[in-house]
Amino acid sequence: MAKFSPTAAPRALPVSRMRRGATVLLTTLTLSIVIGAPTALAKTPLATGTGGAVATISAAASQSAMTILNGGGNAIDAAVAAAATLGVTDPFSCGIGGGGFMVIYLAKQQRVVTIDSREMAPAAFTPAVFLQDGKPIDFDSAVASGAAVGVPGTVRGWHEALSRYGSRSFRQVLAPAIRTARQGFTVNETFNRLTTENEIKFRQFAGASALYLSGGKALPVGTVIRNPGMARAYSEIAARGTAAFYGGPMAQAIVDAVQRPPMVGGATVRAGQMRLADLANYEARIRQPVHSTYRGYDLYGMAEPSSGGMAVAEALNILEGYDLKAMARPQVEHLYVEASRLAFADRNAYLGDPEYVEAPVAGLLDKAYAAQRRALIDVNQAATRASAGDPYLFQDDQSVPLRPAAARPPRQESAHTTHFTVSDKDGNIVSYTFTIESWGGSGIVVPGYGFLLNNEMTDFDFSGPHPNVPEAGKRPRSSMAPTIALKNGKPAFTIGSPGGATIITTVLQTIVNHVDLGMPMNEAIDAPRISERNGAASSVEPGFAASAQGQALARMGHRWDAEAEEIGAANALVFHADGSVTAVSESRRHGGGAALVQRTGH
Ligand code: GLU
């Protein structure tokens, strides 16, 4: 079996050093590869220098990106290398069994393009797929099922990225990940905690139990997990490209696992109806980014089927009408929460797969529409749940008959995905969020290939009428918000995060912290998060309620869930006027991330 336990705990930098270090020499670390044992890589959340840069939540993934950059690959090549490695070391958050969204800045053309590799509903899907006797089925049993699995888009997305904008082959960029899958990675506290939280799901499934549990329990910290199946899957893609994944034995294994999920003992789950033709027919989409402006920045975000770019843009358009720089932090945070509430009311009512539903995009992005929404905000008092507005009045063609359903409470959305960002010496940039939806996706591991299948279909609204109801061939609405910001035509920063619908608020709050409150990006990311998604109450992180701004917000009538939880895991790059770059990852959340630059110092 693919696990050996336990070995020495991985080396980690003391937190005090991690938080202090402004310039870190990680790129000069030479790795002593001991055959048969994984190398414990140090992590640092902050690095400034020149040349290319990368920030991911995984030391091994950041190192893979750096290996490709140092070998002359560009940011797009390095992004695929990092993503493939994240699929190994963060297999519950992302991987080839899922999908995602990549925002790319092409320096030479000065263009931003995006690649949508979102999972697609199989052709057998109907709007009633998650209904029983006309009622939505229980969310957890929908998640752990073949029915939840959408046609995976990640490999097709990587192919589009490499073949259109990259300079390296699958074989070259997958090599570091194949090595990591073979040599293994060491279970850390975060991995152990999150596996523990999902033991019940994983216990039902043969593959997940064998790879990630021992005696039905999460593998202890220090265990080395090797994944020869995933190494095989990557090797086949390296040899034959997308054909290895979307046809042939691997496609057959995916379809079999969806139709007859391999279970432990007598456990049963709903089967799915994915067929070989669904895989063969899958296409990634090259889409125009959502473009908006905020205080002199040009922001490029992800368009539908993600709601990320639109919701962030609408909320910032609302906030732009206030002189936030002149305000105290609690006042700024109050307005940020209120703007988010209004943007979410619209996002919940209107957005979905643009190939199925025509959303009033121009109206939602209109500054005059934002002004109308802003007028609903009480600058001293928290609102209750907001209703969707009428952006059709701000469209060129106002004749569109669709009017929103009454605002609905947001559905349960889980919070496990990964976001990272890479740049290269020529100024190309990638901001990429990808996922298998819930922690551990559907729980189904494809036999022989070691990767988990997504449960992205549970991102659909289970009942309609709604723009986001399940339909054959449709992509469920996402919240992923990989973002690239330019100022005066030059790259300024990138930002993105995992976290389900809290992705939108993490990106928004970090931008406000950085742009309006003037925090350096590492402080903007570190600051305790509050997330308002037009539900019954906001969510906050531990430490927020007791903070000065937390107490001030409570006095303004804000309410949040009693149980505080870590929100998101952001990664960012900041580009400086002198040509240097700062890579920023989390210092604490998700166990801390790994920021690297090609050449340290200025
Ligand atoms: N499925 C979610 C989305 O597309 C992301 C999952 C998560 O971050 O938990 O928005």
pLDDT tens figures, 114-135:
999 999 999 999 999 999 999 9
Q: What is the mean pLDDT of residues 227-256?
A: 98
pLDDT category at 43 given cuts 50, 70, 90 is confident
Ligand 1 center to 325 CA (angstroms): 32
Give the model confidence (pLDDT) of 415-460 as tens digits.
579 999 999 999 999 999 999 999 999 999 999 999 999 999 999 9
Q: Which atom of ligand 1 is nearest to the CA of 498?
A: 8
Q: What pLDDT is recorded for position 405?
A: 55
Q: Is the CB of 416 under 6 A from ligand 1?
A: yes
Q: What pLDDT is recorded for position 399?
A: 58
39 pLDDT above the threshold of 70: no
Q: What pLDDT is recorded for position 464?
A: 86
592 pLDDT above the threshold of 80: yes
Find tokens 């590869």 and name the residue: 33
Q: What is the mean pLDDT of residues 53-81?
A: 98
Which range, of 176-190, 279-293, 412-426, averages the lowest pLDDT? 412-426
Mutation test residue for ligand 1: of 194, 413, 436, 457, the one with most atoms within 8 Å of CB: 413
pLDDT category at 35 given cuts 50, 70, 90 is very low
Q: What is the dihedral of CA 394, 397, 398, 403, to 10 degrees?
A: -90
Which range, of 407-416, 428-437, 472-481, averages the lowest pLDDT? 407-416
64 closest CA partner among 106, 27, 35, 34: 27
pLDDT category at 28 given cuts 50, 70, 90 is very low
Q: What pLDDT is recorded for position 23?
A: 28
Give me the percent of the chain exceeding a pLDDT of 70: 90
Q: Which residue's CA is the nearest one to ligand 1's atom 5? A: 500
Of 89, 114, 186, 417, which one is the catalytic site residue? 417
Q: Is the CB of 304 under 6 A from ligand 1?
A: no
Going 17 to 18 to 19 to 24, the CA torsion angle's sign is: positive
Q: Are strands 297-301 and 290-294 parallel, antiparallel or unpaired?
A: antiparallel
Q: What pLDDT is recorded for position 25?
A: 29
How far apart are alpha carbons 111 and 587 in whole angstroms? 32
Q: Where does 241-354 have alpha helices with state H?
A: 242-246, 248-259, 276-280, 308-319, 329-350
Q: Is the CB of 499 under 6 A from ligand 1?
A: yes
Q: Which residue's CA is the nearest one to ligand 1's atom 1? A: 437
Q: Which residue's CA is the nearest one to ligand 1's atom 4? A: 478
Q: What is the mean pLDDT of residues 369-388?
A: 97
Q: What is the mean pLDDT of residues 224-232?
A: 98
Q: What pLDDT is recorded for position 45?
A: 96
Contact 56, 86 (CB under 8 A): yes
234 closest CA partner among 9, 64, 58, 484: 64
Q: Is the CB of 435 under 6 A from ligand 1?
A: yes
Q: Is the CB of 39 under 6 A from ligand 1?
A: no
How far apart are alpha carbons 442 and 142 in whole angstroms? 9
Give the model confidence (pLDDT) of 512-529 as tens digits.
999 999 999 999 999 999
Contact 153, 284 (CB under 8 A): yes
Q: Which atom of ligand 1 is nearest to the CA of 307?
A: 10
Q: Is the CB of 116 under 6 A from ligand 1?
A: no
Give the model confidence (pLDDT) of 83-109 as tens digits.
999 999 999 999 999 999 999 999 999
The tokens for 455 are 């449960």
585 pLDDT above the threshold of 90: yes
Q: Is the CB of 414 under 6 A from ligand 1?
A: yes
Q: Where does 110-227 have alpha helices with state H?
A: 139-143, 154-165, 170-183, 189-197, 199-204, 206-212
Find tokens 């010496």 and name the residue: 425
Q: Is 114 a catalytic residue?
A: no
* Average confidence score pLDDT of the chain: 91
Q: What is the mean pLDDT of residues 135-160?
A: 96
Contact 441, 455 (CB under 8 A): yes
Write the CA distances from 70 to 357, 392, 599, integer angstroms.
44, 50, 10
476 closest CA partner among 135, 139, 242, 127: 127
Ligand 1 center to 265 CA (angstroms): 30
pTM, to two decimals: 0.92
Q: What is the mean pLDDT of residues 60-75?
A: 98
195 closest CA partner among 93, 263, 269, 86: 93
Q: What is the mean pLDDT of residues 268-292?
A: 97
Ligand 1 center to 313 CA (angstroms): 19
Mutation test residue for ligand 1: of 92, 117, 310, 417, the one with most atoms within 8 Å of CB: 417
Q: Is the CB of 236 under 6 A from ligand 1?
A: no
